[in-house]
Structure 1
């Protein structure tokens, strides 16, 4: 009997907003990608897009071999828990999709596994390609993708991402291991798939609340943090005391740089301007926060934006802690285009229409080709994911700027984009967000300036 792995994902740039999905069918024995599916589906929520990706993947697997066993891997905890029957499906948009998914293949042939988002990059890429095509008024070119797959199949070329270039054996081994692990973890849950739409067990705020838009599915990745599970009759409540040990989270201590000459005047100061250094006040603030962090003694690594004011602030902390500073371009401030160096009032006077659009629409760019908040969120989310993977279980000081810090907090909370205008973030302030192995996030601190007091 053949064995397939289906990896699926979906995203919405607005939740609801322009949405798309991507699905991949992999041969579990060889690690070979057999089918890619992607589609722009118009305006929908993240969850609907994810379910549509699941449906496409299951149908593709059935087309290849209706008797094959299928192991589904997705980074949507909501979909996985609902399809295994552990969480109840209450949202009216989800119920028919889950019912349809459960009917594509007999439940005994399908198992489900939640995976971190960084392990679902193939399907995520396809979903974003579909959304990009939709933005151009097109559909994802499935015909070209099928032709490429047929050419690949004719030469028996195996995909390289699963291991070093050309390491097909490693790819196949990884696929088989994932399938075996998924079978073991899901053995008792698969029979419940057909009853998932009515099975008792979860309420989710993710399908009822508005999430932030983004150029990727960046804002949907923490839906598990907005989901509250309710125990079923056959699954006793575990409570906090017996919750699984997820290990130490990746903890980001977020430090806004100290004052520059532009800070007191509240002038736009992004990554496209003059790159000012710290003022005398800013240097004193950097020393104070460095002393405070040294007393706490919890920082293990320091990563900074490439701009002068952040590197100078990070340098003061690094000197106290005896650590090196790693520079990451993804932590740079938003590029404010022609607004750089201007006050809000000056921008209002010179570019009123552009400013109004920018305040109302996260996709709007500042005058002169600056960076939109949506584009910034995409960049920050990708940087966040990379750093979480690099510093799992570690405490890292990220020395960055107003917009990146507010964006990290917003994404962790699942808050809408207008929340950026409702957070106060002082120079040299500290905020903290912890990221757990199951995809959840916890905002532990925001805009602490107690270390700056004499």
Structure 2
């Protein structure tokens, strides 16, 4: 299966740099709406069979133009919502406490899945719910699936599940609003990242270390 993981469009909390992870969350800024409107064109070469969004308003609004352009139903699933910030909710991400959020999340991708976000979920819970939605999509028989999700959730799940992306690579590369990571694989055989916001990602052992960006994807 070809899996397109797409971050939602810009929100007011993105502008303010806040950890805003609770459901239903804010909508999109005018720029975010424009980013969502541009998504069908950005994904014009992708033959998308199924479209998913999380339970947060911002992903559903981002998915709406793509759904309309392709005649697709938006399948709303809680499993691909943002990683819960717990007690860190609405803190500025640049503060020491705010930075604890990503440190904890990337520790999950490194294998410490018993670790719990302060006042929130564990890595096993967060990755497990995301895995479940990906497994559902794979079981549907869809060849290409787009999931409109969230920056931290996408990066952490990719670092945890893609054989050729390590934590250092994912942690160093924040995902832009409506940025896309493309993967290929299955839940049983595993996943390989093909591109990260347009840059080709080298397969492990083929041309460089895991997660080496080799250039612009065609």
Native 8 Å contact 2:53 2:77 kept in 1: yes
1:431-452 CA distances to partner (integer Å, 9 max, x unpaired)?
1111159714321111249xxx
Aligned to 1:421: 171
Secondary structure at the aligned position of 1:358 is classed as helix
Residues 297, 378 of structure 1: CA spacing in aligned structure 2 closer, same or farther, 3 A cutoff? Answer: closer
Aligned to 1:60: none
Residue 301 in structure 1 maps to residue 62 in structure 2: no
1:74-119 CA distances to partner (integer Å, 9 max, x unpaired)?
xxxxxxxxxxxxxxxxxxxxxxxxxxxxxxxxxxxxxxxxxxxxxx
Secondary structure at the aligned position of 1:326 is classed as strand
TM-score (norm 2): 0.76
Q: Distance in 2 between matches of 1:301 and 1:356?
A: 30
Secondary structure at the aligned position of 1:445 is classed as strand
Aligned to 2:3: 252
Residue 264 in structure 1 maps to residue 15 in structure 2: yes
Q: Structure 2 residue aligned with 1:311, among 60, 71, 83?
A: 60
1:42-88 CA distances to partner (integer Å, 9 max, x unpaired)?
xxxxxxxxxxxxxxxxxxxxxxxxxxxxxxxxxxxxxxxxxxxxxxx
Largest Rg, 1 or 2: 1
Aligned to 1:23: none
Q: Distance in 2 between matches of 1:377 and 1:408?
A: 6
TM-score (norm 1): 0.39
Aligned to 1:400: 149
Q: Distance in 1 between matches of 2:8 and 2:192?
A: 23
Aligned to 1:434: 184
Superposed structure 1 runs of 4+ greater than 4 Å apart: 354-357, 414-420
Q: Distance in 2 between matches of 1:308 and 1:403?
A: 17
Residues 358, 283 of structure 1: CA spacing in aligned structure 2 closer, same or farther, 3 A cutoff? Answer: same
Q: Distance in 1 between matches of 2:88 and 2:77?
A: 24
Q: Distance in 1 between matches of 2:83 and 2:187?
A: 29
1:288-331 CA distances to partner (integer Å, 9 max, x unpaired)?
112222x3251121111111000000111111112111111111
Q: Distance in 2 between matches of 1:408 and 1:321?
A: 27
Residues 423, 378 of structure 1: CA spacing in aligned structure 2 closer, same or farther, 3 A cutoff? Answer: farther
Residues 437, 389 of structure 1: CA spacing in aligned structure 2 closer, same or farther, 3 A cutoff? Answer: same
Residues 319, 357 of structure 1: CA spacing in aligned structure 2 closer, same or farther, 3 A cutoff? Answer: closer
The 5 A counterparts of 1:169-248 are: none
The answer for unaligned runs of 5 or more in structure 1 is: 1-249, 450-454
Native 8 Å contact 2:106 2:167 kept in 1: no
The 5 A counterparts of 1:17-32 are: none
- RMSD of the alignment, in Å? 2.9
Native 8 Å contact 2:135 2:187 kept in 1: no
Residues 399, 361 of structure 1: CA spacing in aligned structure 2 closer, same or farther, 3 A cutoff? Answer: closer
Aligned to 2:193: 443
Native 8 Å contact 1:268 1:341 kept in 2: yes
Residue 409 in structure 1 maps to residue 161 in structure 2: no
Q: Structure 2 residue aligned with 1:283, among 14, 28, 33?
A: 33
Deviation at 1:379, TM superposition (A): 2.0
Native 8 Å contact 1:335 1:370 kept in 2: yes
Question: May I ask how many residue pairs the two structures share in their alignment?
Answer: 193
More helix, by proportion: 1
Residues 342, 364 of structure 1: CA spacing in aligned structure 2 closer, same or farther, 3 A cutoff? Answer: same
Native 8 Å contact 2:4 2:183 kept in 1: yes
Residues 365, 418 of structure 1: CA spacing in aligned structure 2 closer, same or farther, 3 A cutoff? Answer: farther
Aligned to 1:327: 76
Residues 444, 267 of structure 1: CA spacing in aligned structure 2 closer, same or farther, 3 A cutoff? Answer: same
